[in-house]
Structure 1
Amino acid sequence: MAPDPKDRTVPDRPEIVCICGSMRFADEMLAANRDLTLAGAIVVAPGLLAPTGERGAAAEPTDEQKAALGELHLRRIDLADRVLVVNPGGYVGESTRREIAYARAAGTPVSFTDPA
């Protein structure tokens, strides 16, 4: 039987942090990812993150893909020890609110980069 990924008794396992936030804050989420990784955390984040200057309309997912990606992100939250919401200016959109509610219902701690 595989060990439970949320078992905090596993020796020397780094903290797993799931980054959530609006895709309009991709640059800020990439910076948070970098900072957390350099601090020794395992980071899980939206899979289509790209710096602002590297995003194109051709890469925009369909509505069906967006729904599937949203469900996939909830599975990332399942893996996490905590969630970090990247919310410059306190902004939290509908999808991110759903992710926060999901994490809290599962008992996963949630923190924010900016006061809400």
Structure 2
Amino acid sequence: MPDRPEIVCICGSSRFVDEMRAANRDLTLAGVIVVARGEANEVMTEAQKAALGALHLRKIELADRVLVVNPGGYVGESTSREIAHAHATGKRVSFTDPV
């Protein structure tokens, strides 16, 4: 029995915000610690976007594994970068819609 719950970082396109929220809810109810992308309701500057992107890579490093929310198999440029970072840091990667 593990000494702490699994930590999962959710990644995916911002177009799938509802699906990512559902995955967060489902994982949390299953007893998983969820680390998710930050959300902002206002328009962000390029500097803010870059800072949040770098922060998300650090979140991946904290996780035991990464869950990519990819309805229809869609994986965009930033999510591809996050997947590459997860692999480079030895994290397991799973997909909601395996390709």
Counterparts of 1:62 and 1:24, CA distance in 2: 18
The alignment status of 1:15 with 2:6, answered yes or no, reads yes
TM-score of the superposed pair, with normalisation by structure 2: 0.95
Larger radius of gyration: 1
Q: 1:33 aligns with which of 24, 27, 48?
A: 24
Aligned to 1:114: 97
TM-score of the superposed pair, with normalisation by structure 1: 0.81
The alignment status of 1:74 with 2:44, answered yes or no, reads no
Among all aligned residue pairs of Structure 1 and Structure 2, give the percentage whose two residues are the same amino acid. Answer: 76
The 3-state SS of whatever aligns with 2:8 is: strand
Counterparts of 2:59 and 2:96, CA distance in 1: 19
Whose strand proportion is higher, 1 or 2?
A: 2
Counterparts of 2:44 and 2:5, CA distance in 1: 32
The 3-state SS of whatever aligns with 1:76 is: helix
Aligned to 1:105: 88
Aligned to 1:24: 15
The count of residues paired between Structure 1 and Structure 2 equals 99
Report the alpha carbon displacement of residue 115 of structure 1 after superposing the two structures with TM.
1.7
Counterparts of 2:56 and 2:38, CA distance in 1: 8
User: What is the aligned-residue RMSD (CA, Å)?
Assistant: 1.4
1:42-57 equivalent positions in 2, closer than 5 A: 42-48=33-39, 55=41
